Copies of this chain bind each other. A is one copy, B any other.
């Protein structure tokens, strides 16, 4: 963790400016009839889960260029995640990936407690082969033509649930790469039926208070067809399985030009929005830092979420899911957690009464402007205040750099060489 005096020093350096900015924004919002403290309170209460795999450097099929101090195992990862939450106070939980993060539950619980973190949704992995597994997922997992391979994949998911129960998780996220690379390779319908049968087995083993999140994705690693290719298929799955099954939306898993905020609205309408994997993308599943490419799109998603919050039962899961290829992963995750909070804060500023009026009277220009006024409000002082009020950093990136954390862990964690090529 970062030493308190470093954090204090970092905050002290910017607190005067921050106080001025916060006061000025408070005055401005008061003129708009908004209580800044109330917004800051809502933002302070908001959290997004960090993916354990996000603290390692990512890569592409062409290469991976590791950074300094790469985490060696889940305990290094939990330490890194602890720093993220210490500075941002926005990421109180971690989402584990099995078998990458497999470890004794007691050890995980202890390390989580030490890092001040709880455990969010469990993630199973049947898109890779593990050294000791009898059957390969080369041609699929939950939807494989071979029953034994499907059983192995189901069994792995049950193991994830078991581990998750022991550490206090309440959900299982299932993303599979099953699909095909050639027209004709798979019978779409039979493959889907096999998927549904396997998913039902998992669903039937789900504890009563758990949720099952299934995740759709248009393509990659399969390049002609994917079993759960879009939200329509995902909805069919959730309907087939039952009330504990819901759909997970990863912002980068859609076709070009698709209106994602509308999909969010439709899933809410169907009672099947399970949650999010936040990130940003320009081309495909780029897994870039959240809001790095199109911050207004993220705001529009949150506009739907804030709209739906009037239903007290509405409680989707919020997770980051990114690949950090050219940045320090801790910095990217802190920055992204703040971007999610930013979109939430902006969405809270929308004048919903005025908006509803413009919508009712088809005043498209003023409706659009109502959203834009909220979006272009610089809510940075609100986010900073929410952090500071809970013991975090006014400027987490600055505090992190000041702390020398990366150099410190790099001294403890051996250098990792880049992944060799050949996967082209």
Contact indicator B127/A223 (Cβ below 8 Å) = no
Binary CB contact string for chain A from 47 to 85 against chain B (1 if under 8 A, 0 otherwise) = 000000100101111111100000000000000000000
A265–chain B nearest beta-carbon distance, Å = 4
**CA gap between A139 and B363 in the complex, in Å:** 10
Interface with B: A104-112, A158-166, A354-362, which one? A354-362
Residues of B within 8 A of A420 (CB): 128
Closest B residue, CB atoms, query A32: B17
Contact indicator B256/A257 (Cβ below 8 Å) = yes
Interface with B: A87-95, A328-336, A385-393, A406-414, which one? A328-336
Judge whether A4 is part of the interface by a CB distance below 8 angstroms.
Answer: no
Contact indicator A331/B365 (Cβ below 8 Å) = yes
Contact indicator A136/B65 (Cβ below 8 Å) = yes
Q: Out of B180, B188, B269, B358, name the residue touching A189 (CB < 8 Å).
A: B269
Q: How many copies does the complex hold?
A: 4
Contact indicator B288/A362 (Cβ below 8 Å) = no
Judge whether A297 is part of the interface by a CB distance below 8 angstroms.
Answer: yes
Residues of B within 8 A of A303 (CB): 183-184
Contact indicator B187/A224 (Cβ below 8 Å) = no
Judge whether A185 is part of the interface by a CB distance below 8 angstroms.
Answer: yes
Contact indicator B283/A218 (Cβ below 8 Å) = yes
Q: Out of B17, B28, B56, B270, name the residue touching A422 (CB < 8 Å).
A: B56
Kindly identify, within residues 229 to 271 of chain A, every residue whose CB is under 8 Å from any CB belonging to chain B: 229-233, 235-236, 254-259, 261-263, 265-266, 268-270
**CA gap between A167 and B295 in the complex, in Å:** 43
Interface with B: A5-13, A113-121, A205-213, A371-379, which one? A371-379
Query: Chain A: interface residue count, which band?
Result: 35 or more
Q: Do A295 and B296 contact each other (CB < 8 Å), given the known contacts A189-B265, A355-B184?
A: yes
Contact indicator A281/B223 (Cβ below 8 Å) = yes
Q: Out of B17, B127, B289, name the residue touching A62 (CB < 8 Å).
A: B127
Residues of B within 8 A of A335 (CB): 365, 369
Closest B residue, CB atoms, query A297: B294
Residues of B within 8 A of A288 (CB): 181-182, 223-224
Contact indicator A256/B255 (Cβ below 8 Å) = yes
Judge whether A344 is part of the interface by a CB distance below 8 angstroms.
Answer: no
**CA gap between A188 and B263 in the complex, in Å:** 10
Residues of B within 8 A of A257 (CB): 218-219, 255-256, 282-283
Question: Measuring CB to CB, which residues of chain A are less than 8 angstroms from any residue of chain B?
Answer: 17, 20-21, 24, 27-28, 31, 53, 56, 58-65, 100, 125, 127-129, 131, 136-139, 145, 177, 180-190, 192-193, 218-221, 223-225, 229-233, 235-236, 254-259, 261-263, 265-266, 268-270, 281-284, 286-289, 292-297, 300, 303-304, 307, 323, 325-328, 331-332, 335, 355-356, 358-362, 364-372, 375-378, 380, 397, 417-424
**16 further interface pairs, Cβ-Cβ under 8 Å (given A59-B423, A128-B418, A136-B418):** A61-B323, A181-B292, A184-B303, A184-B371, A187-B307, A187-B359, A219-B282, A219-B283, A224-B259, A224-B292, A233-B266, A255-B256, A295-B375, A332-B365, A335-B369, A419-B423
The 10 listed contacts between A and B (C-beta, < 8 Å) are: A63-B137, A63-B221, A183-B368, A184-B358, A185-B326, A187-B307, A189-B268, A223-B287, A229-B262, A235-B236
